[in-house]
Amino acid sequence: MFLEQICPGQVNSHLQAIHTFIYKNERFIVYATGSKVVIYADPDNLVQIIAASSLFEPQDILEPVTAVSGNNRTGQIALAYHNQIGILKPCDGNEHRWELDTVLNTTQVITCLDWSVNSKVIFFFKYMFRMTRYIYIKLNYI
| Percent of the chain scoring above 90 in pLDDT | 37
Per-residue model confidence as pLDDT tens digits over 71-102 = 999 999 999 998 899 999 999 876 689 999 99
pLDDT confidence of residue 128: 54
Overall average pLDDT of the 115-122 stretch? 87
Check residues 8 and 38 and name the one with the higher pLDDT: 38
For the whole prediction, is pTM greater than 0.85? no
The reported pLDDT for the residue numbered 4 is 52
Strands of the chain, DSSP E: 18-23, 26-33, 36-42, 45-51, 65-70, 77-81, 84-91, 94-105, 110-115, 121-125
Average pLDDT taken over every residue of the chain = 81
